[in-house]
């Protein structure tokens, strides 16, 4: 198949998913609300001491963003699996992995990007400002697509499996560890004055690696689920 | 001897049954020798005293836990590539043993940590990677048990094992990197002093012992899996072969 | 030409069929009939390459479909028993996104004509699909047949929840397809009103 029809199929999927998200705006808003609530719980739990909040801020915000991504994973493929659209996706003359990448990109636009855009406000709540705040946003911008890519593997593996909500968390969270430590490390490093560049580069490398590998694993998992 | 013949579960079953006692005997013998060397022959460490001797269990267990994960992923990959039932059974049989060694490594690590660092748990790169490895083993096993269809269970857990095998070195690197950033919590696990030849010897003997133990246990478990799967009416057409396997036992 | 060679299939612990051989020539339709649970849908899924057969192979013009992969997908239109209809999209949007995904993008006008051909009037085109009846949703899915230029059609129970008029419209469309030299495999409980020389039956016994 030639490249233009591949592009057409991928952009068709992205457009359709964005249109669906527009029709159901509450779905997209949910992960953002979740992020805000989780991040707001921590000051209530550990106390309003600014120094403490500043210390735990990067880690808390990153963990909250990670959980928000995790929670939205069930929406990547489930609806398409139930109504038969996923079958159609497998039976097209384009490589499934490329279509999967398109779907995950749409999912990131809907549930990952809002998290990134909201993060500076939450950073201010935790007393971050200046360079660390910028590094926080940048680290989430590089890290959340990786979370979506890796999470899609788990989401595809548990399609139609009983207890899939909890199972996907157990499968995916261990895989999120490197991204979490690079991401939170970048912000902490920037606060400590040693800069976040090294960690940001590692986040970028993780993104590239997951872009190359994750769609293939996800495609394999989808085929297995549809057999 | 035609090895490919044994890639069929029915043929593998009696072969495994004949091999298990040999591996078990060697494992027990080597474990006895290794533990004796570790506890009585190896010299006392001048910094840590006697408590360091847990490493004769801890280090081989940690090695085995990682090694078995890789072996499990290889069998899973072979199963996916060749669509071989026995490979998936091997992968399924390895997971519990690997998880057991991971748990053993964590437990002995904590036991070693208390007298050495004064804490049961430190966020050392190796211990943390072992913990994540345990989660991955748990994920492989839980995914398998949540799926009723055997073929899908095999293949889905294979995909997850293969993804995990890419992840393990990245986790190790990331935690080590994370530790250098958080200097306060950083703890070096290397003993500092040069390892005596007898210590190294004891550790290697223990590793080989664990290796033989793993083979014996995994073969026994594969036999159970063969019986479990093939007692299903799936093999109704080939009753003669089953009969033979049962007789050989 | 579509050919099944020595196919056998097992779902879970149950053997559905074994050593099944069948040939579908261009210009003919194969109607797969049989009781519930006899493996009709599984056979169609094997033909579509979604389900790998336990033994045997499916050949398209002499080549194994699992080697052809995407090339084979480019030959086929598969409509399963699930409609793939999104409740939040209109019939028009559903149809257009399905065809563009399949690699046969159609114009707004073409999609409207296809929907009208299967008896969905213009006002319905712009309603959200969740208000449609089961039969109307089925017709939105089947409208793809008016836009498909693929030689091989695989249809799972296309006539379910269709009224008599729609059934005959779809049958006419199937006839036109085979008369142009197309192939079709149908899983169905109903008689297909096609000329005998274009029709072949395969009965599966569970």
At residue B3, the pLDDT reads: 55
Q: For B152-165, how does the pLDDT look when each residue is reduced to its tens digit (9 = 90+)?
A: 999 999 999 999 99
What are residue C5's DSSP bridge partners?
Answer: C57
Of residues B87 and A30, more confidence is placed in B87
At residue B74, the pLDDT reads: 95
C residues 30-49 near A, CB within 8 Å? 48-49
Would you call A13 and C101 a contact, using CB atoms and an 8 Å cutoff? yes
Q: For C111-163, how does the pLDDT look when each residue is reduced to its tens digit (9 = 90+)?
A: 999 999 998 998 888 999 999 999 999 999 999 999 999 999 999 999 988 99
Q: Which residue of C has its CA nearest to A24?
A: C88
Q: Provide ipTM, 2 decimals.
A: 0.90
HSE (side-chain half, CA atoms, 13 Å) at A157: 34
CB contacts < 8 A, A to B, total: 79
Structure tokens at C83: 């409609």
pLDDT > 50? residue B170: yes
Helix axis angle for A50-72 and A164-191, nearest 10°, is 140
Q: What is the mean pLDDT of residues A111-140?
A: 91
At residue B144, the pLDDT reads: 93
Q: Looking at CA atoms only, how far is residue A86 from chain C in angstroms?
A: 8
Alpha-carbon dihedral angle through residues A175, B105, B60, B47, given to the nearest 10 degrees: 120
HSE (side-chain half, CA atoms, 13 Å) at A46: 16
Mean pLDDT of chain B: 81
Q: Which residues of B touch C13 (CB under 8 A)?
A: 232-234
DSSP result, B12-47: HHHHHHHHHHHHHHHHHHHHHHHHHIIIIISPPBTT
Q: Which of B142, B162, B164 has the CB atom closest to A170's CB atom?
A: B142
Which residue range forms the structural domain that includes residue A187? 3-226
pLDDT > 70? residue B125: yes
Please indicate if any CB of chain C lies within 8 Å of the CB of B234: yes
Query: Would you place residue A5 in the very low, low, confident or very high pLDDT band (cuts 50, 70, 90)?
Result: confident
DSSP result, chain C: -EEEEEEEEEETTEEEEEEEEEEE-TT-EEEEEE-TTSSHHHHHHHHHTSS--SEEEEEETTEEHHHHTHHHHTTEEEE-SS----TTS-HHHHHHHHHHHTT----HHHHHHHHHHTT--HHHHTS-GGGS-HHHHHHHHHGGGGT---SEEEEESTTTT--HHHHHHHHHHHHHHHHTT-EEEEE-SSPP---GGGEEEEEE--
C residues 122-151 near A, CB within 8 Å? 128
Q: What is the mean pLDDT of residues C11-28?
A: 87
Of residues A163 and B48, more confidence is placed in A163
Structure tokens at B91: 């992968």
HSE (side-chain half, CA atoms, 13 Å) at C176: 11
Would you call C82 and A87 a contact, using CB atoms and an 8 Å cutoff? yes
What's the helix, strand, coil split of chain A in %, to 5? 85, 0, 15
Q: Which residue of B has its CA nearest to C11?
A: B149
At residue A146, the pLDDT reads: 96
Q: Looking at CA atoms only, how far is residue B120 from chain A in angstroms?
A: 22
Q: Hey, is B49 helix, strand or coil?
A: strand
Say how far apart CA B165 and CA B192 lie, in whole Å: 30
pLDDT > 90? residue C170: yes
Closest CA relative to residue C85, chosen from A82, B109, A64, A212: A82
How many CB atoms are closer than 10 A to CB A174?
Answer: 21
Looking at the structure of chain A, the number of domains it has is: 1
CB B158, CB B91: distance < 8 Å: yes
Q: Hey, is A193 helix, strand or coil?
A: coil
Query: Would you place residue B4 in the very low, low, confident or very high pLDDT band (cuts 50, 70, 90)?
Result: low
Q: Which residue of B has its CA nearest to C18?
A: B237
At residue C179, the pLDDT reads: 93
Q: What is the mean pLDDT of residues B65-79?
A: 94
Q: Looking at CA atoms only, how far is residue A213 from chain B in angstroms?
A: 9
Query: Would you place residue C189 in the very low, low, confident or very high pLDDT band (cuts 50, 70, 90)?
Result: confident
Please indicate if any CB of chain C lies within 8 Å of the CB of A16: yes
Q: What is the mean pLDDT of residues A91-107?
A: 93
- Among B83, B85, B151, B231, which would you mutate to test the C interface (most chain C Cβ atoms within 10 Å of its Cβ)? B151
Q: Looking at CA atoms only, how far is residue C193 from chain A in angstroms?
A: 28
Would you call A16 and C89 a contact, using CB atoms and an 8 Å cutoff? yes
pLDDT > 80? residue B181: no
Q: Which residues of B79-108 are buried (b: 16+ CB within 10 A; e: fewer)?
A: bbeeebbbbbbbbbbbbbbbbbbbebbbeb
CB B141, CB B95: distance < 8 Å: yes
At residue A98, the pLDDT reads: 93
Would you call A217 and B143 a contact, using CB atoms and an 8 Å cutoff? no
pLDDT > 70? residue C173: yes
HSE (side-chain half, CA atoms, 13 Å) at B118: 1
Select the CATH number that applies to the domain covering B20-248 from these four: 1.10.1060, 1.20.120, 2.60.40, 1.10.20.
1.20.120
- Among B137, B138, B146, which would you mutate to test the A interface (most chain A Cβ atoms within 10 Å of its Cβ)? B146
Q: Which residue of A has its CA nearest to C72?
A: A93
Query: Which distant-in-sequence residues (6+ apart) come within 8 Å of B196 by Cβ?
Result: B42, B43
The fraction of chain B above a pLDDT of 90, given in percent, is: 40
Would you call B173 and A224 a contact, using CB atoms and an 8 Å cutoff? no
Q: Which residues of C touch B234 (CB under 8 A)?
A: 10, 13
Q: What is the mean pLDDT of residues B68-78?
A: 95
Return the HEC string of B58-84.
Answer: HHHHHHHHHHHHHHHHHHHHHHHHHCC
- In the DSSP assignment, the letter for residue A112 is I
At residue C160, the pLDDT reads: 87
pLDDT > 50? residue B238: no
Q: Position of tokens 């995950």?
A: A104
CB A202, CB A84: distance < 8 Å: no
Mean pLDDT of chain A: 90
Query: Would you place residue B232 in the very low, low, confident or very high pLDDT band (cuts 50, 70, 90)?
Result: very low
Q: Which residue of C has its CA nearest to B150?
A: C12
pLDDT > 50? residue A201: yes
Q: Model-level pTM?
A: 0.89
Q: Give residue B206's region: left, alpha or beta (phi > 0; psi -120 to 50).
A: alpha
Q: Which residue of C has its CA nearest to A102?
A: C101
Query: Would you place residue B237 in the very low, low, confident or very high pLDDT band (cuts 50, 70, 90)?
Result: very low
What are residue C199's DSSP bridge partners?
Answer: C29
Q: For C57-114, how does the pLDDT look when each residue is reduced to its tens digit (9 = 90+)?
A: 999 999 999 898 889 999 999 999 888 889 999 999 999 999 988 888 889 999 999 9
Q: Which residues of A touch B138 (CB under 8 A)?
A: 170
Structure tokens at B217: 């246990």
Q: For A132-159, how does the pLDDT look when each residue is reduced to its tens digit (9 = 90+)?
A: 899 999 999 999 999 999 999 999 999 9
Say how far apart CA B76 and CA B98 lie, in whole Å: 14
Q: What is the mean pLDDT of residues B172-176?
A: 78
The fraction of chain A above a pLDDT of 70, given in percent, is: 99
């Amino acid at each position: 198949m030639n490249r233009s029809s591949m592009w057409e199929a991928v952009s068709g999927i992205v457009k359709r998913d964005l249109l669906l998200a527009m029709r159901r705006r509450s779905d997209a808003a949910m992960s953002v609300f979740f992020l805000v609530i989780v991040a707001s719980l921590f000051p209530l739990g550990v106390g309003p001491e600014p120094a403490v909040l500043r210390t735990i801020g990067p880690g808390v915000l990153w963990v909250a963003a990670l959980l928000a991504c995790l929670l939205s994973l069930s929406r990547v493929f489930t609806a398409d699996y139930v109504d038969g659209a996923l079958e159609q996706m497998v039976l097209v003359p384009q490589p499934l992995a490329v279509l999967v990448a398109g779907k995950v990109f749409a999912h990131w636009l809907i549930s990952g990007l809002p998290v990134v855009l909201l993060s500076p406000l939450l950073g201010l709540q935790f007393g971050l400002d200046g360079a660390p705040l910028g590094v926080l946003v940048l680290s989430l911008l590089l890290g959340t697509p990786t979370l979506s890519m890796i999470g899609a593997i788990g989401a595809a593996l548990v399609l139609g499996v009983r207890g899939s909500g909890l199972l996907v968390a157990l499968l995916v969270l261990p895989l999120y560890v490197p991204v979490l430590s690079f991401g939170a490390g970048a912000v902490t490093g920037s606060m400590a004055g040693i800069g976040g560049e090294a960690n940001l580069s590692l986040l970028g490398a993780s993104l590239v690696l997951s872009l190359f590998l994750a769609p293939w694993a996800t495609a394999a998992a989808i085929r297995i689920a549809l057999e | 001897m035609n090895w490919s013949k044994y890639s069929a579960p029915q043929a593998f079953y009696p072969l495994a049954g004949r091999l298990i006692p040999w591996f078990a005997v060697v494992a027990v013998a080597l474990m006895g020798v290794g533990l004796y060397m570790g506890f009585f022959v190896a010299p006392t460490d001048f910094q840590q005293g006697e408590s360091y001797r847990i490493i004769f269990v801890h280090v081989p267990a940690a090695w085995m836990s990682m090694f078995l994960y890789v072996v499990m992923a290889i069998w899973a990959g072979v199963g996916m590539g060749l669509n071989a039932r026995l490979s998936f059974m091997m992968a399924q049989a390895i997971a519990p043993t690997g998880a057991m060694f991971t748990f053993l490594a964590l437990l002995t690590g904590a036991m070693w940590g208390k007298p050495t660092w004064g804490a049961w748990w430190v966020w050392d790169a190796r211990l943390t990677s072992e913990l994540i490895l345990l989660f991955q083993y748990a994920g492989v096993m839980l995914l398998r048990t949540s799926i009723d269809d055997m073929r899908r269970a095999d293949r889905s857990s294979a995909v997850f094992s293969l993804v995990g095998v890419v992840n393990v070195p990245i986790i190790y690197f990331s935690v080590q990197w994370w530790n250098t950033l958080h200097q306060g919590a950083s703890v070096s696990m290397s003993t500092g002093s040069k390892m005596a030849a007898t210590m190294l010897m004891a550790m290697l003997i223990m590793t080989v012992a664990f290796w033989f133990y793993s083979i014996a246990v995994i073969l026994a478990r594969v036999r159970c899996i063969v019986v479990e799967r093939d007692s299903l009416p799936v093999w109704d057409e080939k009753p003669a072969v089953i009969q033979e396997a049962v007789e050989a036992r | 030409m579509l050919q099944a060679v020595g196919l056998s299939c097992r779902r879970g612990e149950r053997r559905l069929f074994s050593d099944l051989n069948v040939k579908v020539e261009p210009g003919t339709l194969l109607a797969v009939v049989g009781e519930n649970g006899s493996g009709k849908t599984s056979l169609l899924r094997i033909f579509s390459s979604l389900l790998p057969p336990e033994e045997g192979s499916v050949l398209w013009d002499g080549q194994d479909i699992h080697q052809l992969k995407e090339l084979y997908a480019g030959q086929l239109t598969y409509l399963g028993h699930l409609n793939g209809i999104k409740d939040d999209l209109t019939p028009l949007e559903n149809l257009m996104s399905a065809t563009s995904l399949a690699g046969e993008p159609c114009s707004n006008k073409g999609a409207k004509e296809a929907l009208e051909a299967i008896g969905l009037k213009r006002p319905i085109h712009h309603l959200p699909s969740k208000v449609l009846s089961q039969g109307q949703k089925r017709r939105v899915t089947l409208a793809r047949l008016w836009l498909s230029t693929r030689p091989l059609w695989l249809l799972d129970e296309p006539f379910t929840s269709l009224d008599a008029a729609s059934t005959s419209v779809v049958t006419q469309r199937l006839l036109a397809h085979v008369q142009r030299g197309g192939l079709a495999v149908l899983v169905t409980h109903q008689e297909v009103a096609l000329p005998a020389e274009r029709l072949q039956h395969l009965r599966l016994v569970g």
